[in-house]
Structure 1
Amino acid sequence: MATGAYDLSSADLWLALTGQAAELEQFLVWHVRLPRLLLAIIVGSALAITGAATQGLFRNPLAEPTLIGVTSGAMLFAVGMLVLSARLLAFFPLWIQQVSVSLAAFLGALLTTGIVYRLAAGRGRLNVATMLLAGIAIAALTGAITGLLIYQSDENELRDITFWSLGSLSGANWTQVAIAAPIVLCGSFFLRRDALALNAFLLGEREAAQLGFSVERVKKRVIVWTALIVGVCISLTGLIGFVGLVIPHLLRLWMGTDYRRLLLYSALLGASFLLLADTLSRTIVAPAELPIGILTALVGAPFFLWLLLRERRKTNWI
């Protein structure tokens, strides 16, 4: 809270928090930096815990929520709203125009996840492998439609699309915190309740069922909560990549695959990581601001490549 384009000393920060500072400093702390700090914590923990849960569901340490269509759907609907909003919402009140992109991204995330789920579900059973393939197909289709919309956009719309796709916490406010916090907290609670089931999934679905877990219900719960959590986060901050992949995998290398611990520590490390990344994005090119998605990709992509090389060495490919 003290660091940024306008630095505060510890004493000034304390005065601002207690309502004794100048009006400008109180506004900076209470209405700009504090909600942004809290939103970074919420979104970071959300992306990391859903990444860990998705890896448990697919029994693949390189899986992430993108595979179930959340990200591609949010991107398509957000781009569609950015390109078409001037024509669709011209006669609506200003506040509807302001929240239209976030609402469209959230609905798009849920809709595409629902489509992927229906494609993979049959005869009362969800086939995880089919869901993976369906997610890839839907991502390709939505990507093509998104590209068509981008092709039709003008310069201002293209700038907005680029900025949204790189992710940012710059617009954080108390309303966004109030929207995200209950969904993320509730969803994280229920994901942690399925930690033992995810541990059993490591043995295989049949073995998990023999241990007494309702496999299909667990899979449905994980997918629904992941879609809700990631959908609301993307709708508020844009696309922030690699957090759901890097954080759980890093912890898995350190503490193993016990999801009772992995989910909790993923949330904590994810919150810390995104808070640090956001602090750097605000300060590294101050007074300008670097999109946070660039920083997470700069960290996540090399780590992902290191994982691939590590797996190659383990399997004696090289």
Structure 2
Amino acid sequence: MKNVLKNRIIMKRLAVMAVALALVYFFWNQGIGNMFILKLRSTKLLTFAVISISTAFATVSFQTVVHSNFLTPSILGVESFYRLLQTVLMFFSFSLLGSQLNAEWQFIFLLFLMLGSYFLLYRLSWNRKNYDMQVILMIGLVMGTFFNSISSFMQVLMDPNEYDKLQTKLYASFQNINDSVLVLAVPLAIYSIISLWRKRKVLEVLGLGAQTAKNLGVAVEMETKLTFMHVILLMTVSAALVGPMMFLGFVAANIAYRLFRTYCLNYLLPGASLLSFVMVVAGQFLAEEVFKLQTNLSILVELFGGIYFFWLLWKERGKL
């Protein structure tokens, strides 16, 4: 009972912090009646919320299923595939088409290809007599390495001007958010977020281990497939909106584990989402107001995330 009250207090404080930061970011130095800035910051705050909740839900759900706090959905090759697709589109659109595919079609193309690769992963790993999570993760890792290798090869062949334009797409940025892509992405993100939230009790049982979950009546393979599908969908939405952010969900999830000290997803899912939102808003505020856009939010997140990752490895070295 004491832990429940403590976790509720932590959740309320995180919610207050998130709202306060959002208000500061929204009203900071905008002038009086500047509707353009109001609209721009409203779009950014909506994007912050979508990205934060999507990455948090995807990471916590994925780590619960694979029973590891050190793995992220990136191991499935989602971000590597995003980089490959952007490289292919840039390479062939300039070399053959003379123009770029518009953002809406890029998003739809990326979504279908990512879901297609998920079903390919299903055919390669799940359509086996014996279900093995390690084989699934290994196939995802190999696919990610393969995608990165092709991307690197094509980038070497690119014209320097094309390569320079490509680099702006391969790093997460909240400066140029496409409203039409956001309209397409929000319903998909909401669908997967609601689905994972409704399945949180099943995920908690899966977190106990495959054999225990089977003994408790959970269809482990089917539930794992559905969870992975929603994770890939959320990561695709996130990458399509702003670009890949490897460490955002990882940092938010692991801080949430240490704050709440529980395996209950009633606290971990919203708690990680609030932490992610706080980090994104605070980081973007620093990037805009302190660094004057001389640095990118993704650089700040990756820097902090990398340091935090190695700190966790050092702290947990005796348990690994």
CA change 1:186–1:99 in 2 (3 A) is closer
Structure 2 equivalent of residue 68 of structure 1:
76
279, 286, 289: which one pairs with 1:283?
289
Structure 1 equivalent of residue 20 of structure 2:
none
Contact 2:103 2:178 in 1 (8 A): no
Structure 2 equivalent of residue 172 of structure 1:
177
Structure 1 equivalent of residue 53 of structure 2:
45
Q: Which range moves more in the overlay, 288-297 or 248-257?
A: 288-297
1:78 equivalent in alignment to 2:86: yes
Structure 1 equivalent of residue 263 of structure 2:
257
Once residues 250 and 3 of structure 1 are traced to their aligned partners in structure 2, the CA distance between those partners, rounded to angstroms, is 23
26, 43, 46: which one pairs with 2:35?
26
The one-letter code of the counterpart of 1:27 is F
136, 141, 150: which one pairs with 2:141?
136
1:307 equivalent in alignment to 2:316: no
Structure 2 equivalent of residue 273 of structure 1:
279
1:241 equivalent in alignment to 2:268: no
Once residues 135 and 156 of structure 1 are traced to their aligned partners in structure 2, the CA distance between those partners, rounded to angstroms, is 32
- For structure 1, the residue ranges without an aligned partner over 5 or more in a row are 13-20
Once residues 312 and 75 of structure 1 are traced to their aligned partners in structure 2, the CA distance between those partners, rounded to angstroms, is 32
Contact 2:182 2:241 in 1 (8 A): no
Once residues 161 and 103 of structure 1 are traced to their aligned partners in structure 2, the CA distance between those partners, rounded to angstroms, is 19
Kindly, what percent of the aligned residue pairs are identical?
A: 21
Contact 1:164 1:238 in 2 (8 A): yes
Once residues 171 and 106 of structure 2 are traced to their aligned partners in structure 1, the CA distance between those partners, rounded to angstroms, is 15
187, 201, 204: which one pairs with 2:192?
187
Contact 2:47 2:182 in 1 (8 A): yes
Contact 1:166 1:238 in 2 (8 A): yes
| CA displacement at 1:104 relative to structure 2 | 4.2
CA change 1:99–1:90 in 2 (3 A) is farther
| CA displacement at 1:27 relative to structure 2 | 1.5
1:115 equivalent in alignment to 2:123: no
CA change 1:263–1:7 in 2 (3 A) is same
CA change 1:188–1:145 in 2 (3 A) is same
Contact 1:65 1:244 in 2 (8 A): no
Once residues 145 and 291 of structure 1 are traced to their aligned partners in structure 2, the CA distance between those partners, rounded to angstroms, is 26
Q: Which range moves more in the overlay, 81-90 or 229-238?
A: 81-90
1:7 equivalent in alignment to 2:9: no
What is the alpha-carbon root mean square deviation over aligned residues?
2.3
147, 157, 160: which one pairs with 2:152?
147
> Normalising by structure 2, what TM-score?
0.85
Contact 1:39 1:176 in 2 (8 A): no
Contact 1:2 1:8 in 2 (8 A): no
Once residues 119 and 298 of structure 2 are traced to their aligned partners in structure 1, the CA distance between those partners, rounded to angstroms, is 26
Q: How does 1:218-237 map to 2 (within 5 A)?
A: 218-237=223-242
Contact 2:248 2:305 in 1 (8 A): yes
- For structure 2, the residue ranges without an aligned partner over 5 or more in a row are 1-22
| CA displacement at 1:274 relative to structure 2 | 1.5
CA change 1:125–1:221 in 2 (3 A) is farther
CA change 1:71–1:126 in 2 (3 A) is farther
Q: Which range moves more in the overlay, 115-124 or 270-279?
A: 115-124
Once residues 158 and 107 of structure 2 are traced to their aligned partners in structure 1, the CA distance between those partners, rounded to angstroms, is 19
| CA displacement at 1:80 relative to structure 2 | 0.8
The one-letter code of the counterpart of 1:233 is S
- For 2:69, what is the secondary structure of its paired residue? coil
Contact 2:78 2:114 in 1 (8 A): yes
